[in-house]
Chain A
Amino acid sequence: MPQIPSQAQQVLDALLASPALEAYLVVGAIMFAIGAWGALVRRNAVVIFMCVELMINGVNLTLVAFADFLPDAGGLGVSYAVLVLAIAAAEIAVGLAIVLAVFRSRRTVNVDEVTSMRG
């Protein structure tokens, strides 16, 4: 086996090492922020639902990362993530039903034009 230089060995070790807990948490936080940005700036109600799903997934990733990395968590974060999954599915069903009802009465899903409840 050829001798590997020490710098290359260090780079190789860093590439093969398992990422830290903070890396997963930061990726989840960035995903949450992207979803929040989309929910704030987009006009289409369906796209807003997609962005809410992105936020839910960011939080799910955080939960599962805690379940894997914290010894005292007992892996319960995975079970919470399953519950979050079920609630997100229920939310998307009801939300799209509301979008369809709004579209049926207003012929639009642009949230800036659905203002009949504005005081």
Chain B
Amino acid sequence: MTIAFGFLAGMMLVSALGVVISRNVVHSALFMSGSFLGVAGFFVMLNAPALAAFQVLIYVGAVTVVILFGIMFTQKPQVRRYRSIINRQFWAGLCVAVGVGAFLSYVLAAEDWSSTAPGNGPREVAQIGRQLLGVAPGSEIFALLFQVVSVLLLVAIVAAIVVSRGKVGTGVDRGVEE
């Protein structure tokens, strides 16, 4: 377990650093999918295999592809110099990030979590489903949250179409003829 933990943590954090310091935007996107795969492995270790499947489908599949589409629409994939991809707050940003990370790590490690033992996660998909729909005892709030998220997804889809569409009446076939 420790070996798997070390491997996954190394893969996840190295890929996350690769997203930030890679000079090619496409490489950043691929590093991001590697980092998401590491998180999916952690979900398997934490007794949530169904969530790991969601993670691989949604993040490694869908979000990476959507971001690659965004890259294809907006820029030439080429290696750039660091001066042109990173703004002047490089060291200030690094100090802030290290401070935030050290503070969070210290608080989370110093806190007394009383009795902790692995193995409490909902391993069965049926149990996750009942909790997500608010049927299981103690999870009634999810009956509301699930519907709120459903409405939010609908609004987001409509908003994405409205925002990314050009002005009405311009262009022959919008998206192709600019």
Q: Tell me which residues across on chain A come within 8 A of B128, comparing CB atoms.
A: 75, 78-79, 82
* Chain A interface, DSSP helix/strand/loop, else mixed: helix
Contacts of A38 in B (CB 8 A): 19-20
- Classify chain A's interface size: 35 or more
Task: Choose one: A32, A73, A100; the contact of B70 (CB below 8 Å).
Answer: A100
Choose from A46, A57, A89, A112 the contact partner of B71 (Cβ within 8 Å).
Answer: A46
Is there an interface contact between A61 and B113, defined as CB atoms closer than 8 Å?
no
Nearest-neighbour CB distance to chain B for A35, whole angstroms, equals: 7
Q: Is the interface of B mostly helix, strand, loop or mixed?
A: helix
Q: A30 and B105 in contact (CB under 8 A), knowing A38-B20, A50-B19, A89-B58?
A: yes
- Report chain B residues within 8 Å CB of A96: 66-67, 69-70, 160, 164
Q: Which of B111-161 contact A (CB under 8 A)?
A: 113, 115-122, 127-128, 131-132, 138-139, 142, 145-146, 149, 152-153, 156-157, 159-161
On whether the beta carbons of A43 and B87 are closer than 8 Å, the reply is: yes
- Interface residues on chain B, number (Cβ under 8 Å): 86
Residues of B within 8 A of A (CB): 1-3, 5, 9, 12-13, 16-17, 19-20, 25, 28-29, 32, 35-36, 39, 42-43, 46-48, 50-51, 54-55, 58-59, 62-63, 66-67, 69-71, 73-75, 84-87, 89-90, 93-94, 96-98, 100-101, 104-105, 108-109, 113, 115-122, 127-128, 131-132, 138-139, 142, 145-146, 149, 152-153, 156-157, 159-161, 163-164, 166, 178
